[in-house]
Structure 1
Amino acid sequence: MAVSSIDAAGSKGRRYGGRITMFVALSCVTAAMGGAIFGYDLGTSGGVSSMGSFLKEFFPDVYRRMKGDVRVSNYCKFDSQLLTLFTSSLYISGLLTATLLSSWFTARHGRRPSMIIGGVAFLAGAAVSGAAVDVYMAILGRALLGVGLGFANQLKQNLQAVLLYLSEMAPARYRGAFSNGFQLTLCLGSLAANVINFGADKITGGWGWRLSLGLAGVPAAFFTLGAIFLPETPNSLVQQGLDRHKVKALLQKIRGTDAVDDELDDIVAANSVAQGGGNGLWLIVSQRRYRPQLVIAVLMPAFTQLSGINAIGFYAPVLLRTVGMGESASLLSTVVTVLIYTASTIVFMFVIDRFGRRTLLIAGSLQMLVSELLIGTIMAAKLGDEGGMGHAYAAALFVLLGVYVAGYSWSWGPMTWLVPTEVFPLEIRSAGQSITVASGFAFTIFVAQGFLAMLCRMKAWLFFFFAGWILAMTAFVYLFLPETKGLPIEQIGKVWREHWFWRRVVEVDQLHASDKL
C-alpha cells in the first residue's frame, strides 16, 4: 500500500526557491482565461432568460405570465422546467463529460490538450446557441458548451485542467493569488456578458439575445489559441515519463532559478508513488488515508451551491423582475452587482496569501449569512403573491444582493476550487479534481434546475433554506478544514496528522513509518 506523496518525498517542510517570472505569469494568465468562458456563460444565461424577445420566441407561456396576461403568483411567473433546462443542460452534459472523459484524458495526455479540446467544443456550442431556431436547438448548444466546460473548466465553477495547471505552475507562496486569476477572469467574463445583455436587450428586431449567446465564442477563441502555445506543467511531464533533465530545464525556466532540485525531487518521488498506487479514483474512495481529501472534494463545491450563489448568478435578473423591476433596470442592476463581484475578487488576490484560507472562508460566510437572512425577511414581509414591492425595499434587496455577492467573491468563490487543488497528493490529484468537478456540477444542476420551482413553492422561505446551509458550511470550515496557506503543494499531506480530527482518521502508523524514509 502506497504512502502519500509528501511522505514518500521526505520533504519534511522544506520550501522551494524561485520567483514570479514573466514566463509563468503569462502562462497562468492564458490558462486563467478559461474562467472568462465560464463567467460569460454565467452572466449570459440569466440575462437572456429574462429578455422578453427570447421568452416570447421560445417560452411563450412564461412570457404571458410575465406580461400579466395570465394571473399567477409573483413567485411563480418564471416557473418552467423547460426554461431551467436551458440553463442546467450545460451542467448536465458537463457533469457527464467531467465524470466519464476529462479526468481520464487529462491524466494520460496532460493539462494543455484538455484545455484545447474544451475551447474547441465551447466554440461549437456558442455557434449553435447563437443560431438556434427553436428551444431544442438552444438546449443542444448549451449541451455542447457543457462538453467544453467538462474538458476545460471546473464549474464555478471552478477548471479541472486549468486549476491543476495554475496550482502546479504558481510558486507556493503565491499560489492563492495565482489561482485566483481564474476567479478574476470569471468575474470579467460575467461582467462582459451582463454589459452585452444590457445593450443587446435594446436592439430592435428582437434578435439581441442571439448576439449575447453567440459572443461566447470570443473568450473561447482566445482560450483555445492561447492553450496551443502553453507549456505543459512539470508535474504532468513527469507523469508522462519525460526525461528528468528536460523537466528540470523547464522548471528552472518557470521558477527563474537554477535551485529547483528539491522541488523536482518531490515531484518525481510523488510520481513514483502514483505509478505504484493503482487507479487514483479507486485509491481516494477506498483508502482511509485519503478520506479527508474525499470529504473536502465533495462538500466544498456542494456547500457553495447550496448557499444559493448560483441561484443569484443564474437568475439575478429574473429575481429582480420578480420583485417588480423592469427588464432594462434588472439587467443594469445585474451589471452593478457583477462590478461589486469583480472588485471584491481583486481584493481577495491581495489578502488570500496574507490571511489564509480559514479566516476568509469564515468571515465571508458570516457576511453571506446576514445578507441572506435580511433578503428573506424583506421578501417575506413585503412581497406577496400579487402586487409589487415598494421602490425602497426593492433598492434594499439590490444592496443586500451586492453585499452577499461581495462576501462570496472574496471567500467561497475562489477557494471552493483552490483548496481542493492544494490538498490532493499527485497520485490522486487528477481523480480528486474529477470528484470535485462532479460534485460541483451535480449540485449546480440541482440549483439551476430547481431554483425557479423552489421559489414558486417555498417563496421567501427559500432564502432561509440557503441561510441554513451557510451555517453548516461555516461550521465545517471551523471544525474540519486545516490551513494550507504557503505550504508547497507537495508538502500539504502533513496537515492531516496535525489536525485534531483528521489525525484519527488517516493511517497514523503509515505516516509515522514514512517519516523514517
Structure 2
Amino acid sequence: MPAVGIAVGDSKKEYPGNLTPFVTVTCIVAAMGGLIFGYDLGISGGVTAMPSFLRKFFPSVYRKQQASITNQYCRYDSQTLTMFTSSLYLAALLASLVASIVTRKFGRKLSMLSGGILFCAGAVINGFAKAIWMLILGRILLGFGIGFANQSVPLYLSEMAPYKYRGALNIGFQLSITVGILIANVLNYFFAKIHGGWGWRLSLGGAMVPALIIVVGSLVLPDTPNSLIERGQHDEAREKLKRVRGVDDVDEEFSDLVAASEASMKVEHPWRNLLLRKYRPHVTMAVMIPFFQQLTGINVIMFYAPVLFNTIGFGNDASLMAAVITGIVNVLATIVSIYGVDKWGRRFLFLEGGSQMLICQAVIAACIGAKFGN
C-alpha cells in the first residue's frame, strides 16, 4: 500500500492511505465548481462580440462597430459596457470576504452550495434580461457565486486529497476552469449563428448548467475531516478520514489534525503575526505569485478573446473560432500541468510557464503594434 506523506513541523510524517475511488470521484465532482468561473470567463467576451446583443443593450457600441473608423479600439469604448463586464469581479471580491467566514464556521459544502445557487440565479436573470439593469444585477449575482465557489472549492480539494496527489487533484479545479472556457467559446460560436438574434440569451442562460452541477454536487459531497474537526465533530471526522484514506489506521493523522486545529485556535492576533519578520518571505510569495499571475493579463485575454480578435480585424465567426482554438490550447496545457506538477515540481512549471508567457506576449505586442502602427 502506498504511503501518503504530510509535513508536520520540521519533520515529514507518512500516514497510511492511498488514492481511493471515493476520493477521486469526490474531488472530480468538487472540481466542477471551476466550471462556473470558466464558463463565465469564456461566455462574456463572445456575447459582447455578438451584434444582436450590442444592438439591443449597447446601441452606441454597435454603431461604432458598424462605422468605418481609424482606430478600431474605439469600437468598444463604453462605460456602461465596462460596468456590465467588471461588476462581476467587484461582486466576487466582496463575496470572497464573506465566503471565508462561511467556509470556516459552517463548512466547505455550504459555501459551495451558496455559490452555486447565487450563480444559477444570476444566469437566469441574464438569460431573460430585458434591460441593462437586469444584466448588471445578474452579473453581480454571478460574481457572488464565483466568490464563494473560488474560495471553497480549492480548499476542499486540498483537504480531501492525499499529499502525494495533492498537486494533481488541486489542478483539477484549474482544468475545470479551462474546460468551462472552452465549452463557452464553442457554444458562443454556434449560438451566434441562430437566426432571430437571441443566441446570446442561450449563451448567458447556459451558465445555469455548471451552476446546477455544483449545487447538486455540494448536496451529495461529504464534508472534509478538517472542517468537521474545526466545528468540534471529532467522531464523524474520524470516520470520514477512514473513508477518505481507505484504511482504518488513521489515529496518528487524526491526532495531528486535531492538534493542528487546536493550535490554530490558540493563536492570538493571527493577522498581526503574519507581519512578523520570520513570516515575511512566506507572505511575500503568497501575495506576489497570484498578483503577478493576474497582472500578466491572462484573464483579460481569455475574457475578451473574441473582442480582441474582432478588434484586430477578424470577422465575427473567425474571432469566435479563434477563441475556441485558444480554449483548446488552454485545456491541453492544463492537462500537461496535471501530469507534471507532482513529477517535475512547482518550480519547474513556474519557470517554464513564465518564460513562455514572456516570449508570447512580446510577440503579440509586436504583432498588434505592426497591425495598428502605434
TM-score using structure 1 length: 0.69
Distance apart, 1:373 and its partner CA: 0.5
Alignment match, 1:273: 263
Alignment match, 1:59: 58
Alignment match, 1:261: 251
Alignment match, 1:102: 99
Task: Say whether the 8 Å CA contact 1:11–1:266 is kept in structure 2.
Answer: no
Distance apart, 1:294 and its partner CA: 2.6
Task: Say whether the 8 Å CA contact 2:22–2:244 is kept in structure 1.
Answer: yes
Q: Secondary structure at the match of 2:197?
A: coil
Distance apart, 1:376 and its partner CA: 0.9
| 1:449-493 deviation line (CA, Å, top 9, x unaligned) | xxxxxxxxxx6xxxxxxxxxxxxxxxxxxxxxxxxxxxxxxxxxx
Distance apart, 1:288 and its partner CA: 3.8
Gaps of at least 5 residues in structure 1 are: 1-5, 154-159, 385-458, 460-517
Match of 1:308 among 293, 297, 315: 297
CA distance 1:237–1:102, change in 2 (3 Å)? same
Q: Secondary structure at the match of 2:304?
A: helix
Distance of 1:109 and 1:289 partners within structure 2: 32
Task: Say whether the 8 Å CA contact 2:124–2:208 is kept in structure 1.
Answer: yes
Distance of 2:225 and 2:276 partners within structure 1: 27
Alignment of 1:75-86 (within 5 A): 75-86=73-84
Alignment match, 1:93: 91
Counterpart of 2:118, as a letter, is A
Distance apart, 1:24 and its partner CA: 0.7
Counterpart of 2:256, as a letter, is D
Distance of 2:277 and 2:232 partners within structure 1: 29
Q: Please state if 1:148 is matched with 2:145.
A: yes
Alignment match, 2:119: 122
Distance apart, 1:293 and its partner CA: 3.6
| 1:204-229 deviation line (CA, Å, top 9, x unaligned) | 11111011000101010011011111
| 1:105-148 deviation line (CA, Å, top 9, x unaligned) | 11111111100111111110000111111122101100000111
Counterpart of 1:38, as a letter, is F
Q: Secondary structure at the match of 2:13?
A: coil
Q: CA RMSD in A?
A: 1.7
Task: Say whether the 8 Å CA contact 2:111–2:148 is kept in structure 1.
Answer: yes
Distance of 1:26 and 1:310 partners within structure 2: 29
Distance of 2:141 and 2:272 partners within structure 1: 29
Task: Say whether the 8 Å CA contact 1:65–1:72 is kept in structure 2.
Answer: no
Task: Say whether the 8 Å CA contact 1:21–1:256 is kept in structure 2.
Answer: yes
Q: Secondary structure at the match of 2:14?
A: coil
Counterpart of 2:251, as a letter, is D
Task: Say whether the 8 Å CA contact 1:122–1:147 is kept in structure 2.
Answer: yes
Q: Secondary structure at the match of 1:16?
A: strand
Distance of 2:61 and 2:283 partners within structure 1: 41
Counterpart of 2:353, as a letter, is G
Alignment match, 2:155: 164
Alignment match, 1:28: 27
Distance apart, 1:281 and its partner CA: 4.1
Distance of 1:297 and 1:230 partners within structure 2: 29
Distance of 1:186 and 1:371 partners within structure 2: 22
Distance apart, 1:16 and its partner CA: 2.3
Task: Say whether the 8 Å CA contact 2:228–2:236 is kept in structure 1.
Answer: no
Distance apart, 1:300 and its partner CA: 1.9
Gaps of at least 5 residues in structure 2 are: 1-5
- Using the aligned pairs only, state the percent identity: 49
Distance of 2:278 and 2:230 partners within structure 1: 22
Q: How many residues align?
A: 369
Q: Secondary structure at the match of 1:231?
A: coil
Distance of 1:109 and 1:362 partners within structure 2: 38
Match of 1:372 among 348, 356, 361: 361
Task: Say whether the 8 Å CA contact 2:312–2:371 is kept in structure 1.
Answer: no
Match of 1:174 among 165, 169, 173: 165
| 1:307-360 deviation line (CA, Å, top 9, x unaligned) | 110110111111111111100110011111101111111111111100000111
Counterpart of 1:302, as a letter, is F
